[in-house]
């Protein structure tokens, strides 16, 4: 077991905790940054991550790499972030059902059976040629926010909406504990693959024009999909949708 002694930095206001973690890697090998608010919080695909002051968790773990990583190693950080977030949420709310939606949205089943997003993970690798200089795992978890932008109001939720009043600091402590555990998990890609539970599922393009069957989550984190005529690789869940399997109980 690796024991990470991780310097932790807290800020009131930052642009994005991912940016500050990256900057601090000039002086640290590994670093954690969290903040009360982000002025330029970002999600995947260039989306804005709404980051109201003291309402939610804005957490980033940075690792100085300065080496080549295999595609499998690179993808494993995606798995670490997703699993740490879902581990934390399951610890906070053991009676709720959470699932990871490919690639890394954490979704929860609401009391009315609708499915909403409560957490997102943004993993960034900085390259110099083929050398990965740093890896940043950014995790956002909605805690006290109850009002979202109109386009998100029906899609997003928070611990407060789920009936849980949690302190940001306590959620930080749990996420931090879980991410350190998952960094030490040698089988993290298999754990994530199992958690995704997407193999064999039908994936439909958002415009509804094409449907594929997912054959496998590959070691580099992409999806091998069968179109009926041939196989394609899918690297982003953004243009596709599939039915999340909540089964009968929480896992
Ligand atoms: C997504 O779902 O699109 C990913 C959202 C990631 C948000 C977190 S909040 C902490 C870190 N800093 C950022 O600017 N983004 C990530």
Q: What was the pLDDT predicted at 5?
A: 80
Taking the centre of ligand 1 as the mean of its atom positions, its distance from the CA of residue 186, in whole angstroms, is: 25
Q: Is residue 119 within 6 Å of ligand 1 at its C-beta?
A: no
Polymer length in residues for the chain: 251
Q: Is residue 44 within 6 Å of ligand 1 at its C-beta?
A: yes
CA 168/CA 196 separation, integer angstroms = 27
Q: Is residue 62 within 6 Å of ligand 1 at its C-beta?
A: no
Q: Quick: pLDDT tens for 128-181.
A: 999 999 999 999 999 999 999 888 889 999 999 999 999 999 999 999 999 999
- For 201-217, letters b (16+ CB in 10 Å) and e give bebeeeeeeeebebeeb
Taking the centre of ligand 1 as the mean of its atom positions, its distance from the CA of residue 196, in whole angstroms, is: 20
Q: Quick: pLDDT tens for 81-136.
A: 999 999 999 999 999 999 999 999 999 999 999 999 999 999 999 999 999 999 99
CA 2/CA 186 separation, integer angstroms = 11
Q: Residue 237 carries which DSSP code?
A: S
Q: Is residue 58 within 6 Å of ligand 1 at its C-beta?
A: yes
Which pLDDT band holds residue 236 (cuts at 50, 70, 90)? confident
């Amino acid at each position: 077991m690796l024991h990470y002694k991780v310097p932790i930095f807290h800020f009131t206001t930052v642009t994005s905790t991912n940016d500050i973690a990256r900057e601090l890697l000039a002086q640290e090998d590994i670093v954690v940054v969290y903040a009360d608010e982000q002025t330029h919080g970002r999600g995947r695909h260039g989306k804005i991550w709404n980051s109201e002051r003291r309402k939610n968790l804005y957490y980033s773990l940075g690792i100085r790499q300065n080496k080549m990583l295999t595609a499998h190693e690179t993808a494993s950080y995606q798995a670490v972030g997703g699993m740490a977030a879902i581990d934390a949420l399951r610890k906070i709310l053991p009676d709720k059902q959470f699932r990871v939606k490919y690639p890394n949205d954490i979704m929860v089943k609401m009391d009315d059976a609708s499915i909403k997003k409560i957490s997102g993970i943004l993993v960034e690798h900085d390259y110099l040629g083929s050398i990965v200089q740093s890896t940043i795992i950014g995790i956002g978890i909605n805690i006290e926010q109850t009002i979202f932008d109109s386009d998100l109001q029906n899609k997003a939720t928070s611990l407060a909406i789920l009936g849980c009043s949690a302190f940001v600091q306590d959620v930080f402590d749990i996420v931090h504990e879980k991410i350190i555990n998952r960094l030490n998990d040698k089988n993290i890609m298999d754990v994530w693959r199992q958690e995704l539970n997407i193999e064999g599922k039908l994936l439909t393009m958002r415009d509804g024009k094409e449907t594929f069957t997912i054959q496998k989550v590959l070691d580099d984190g992409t999806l091998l999909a069968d179109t009926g005529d041939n196989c394609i690789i899918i690297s982003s869940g953004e243009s596709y949708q599939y039915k999340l399997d909540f089964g009968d109980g929480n896992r």
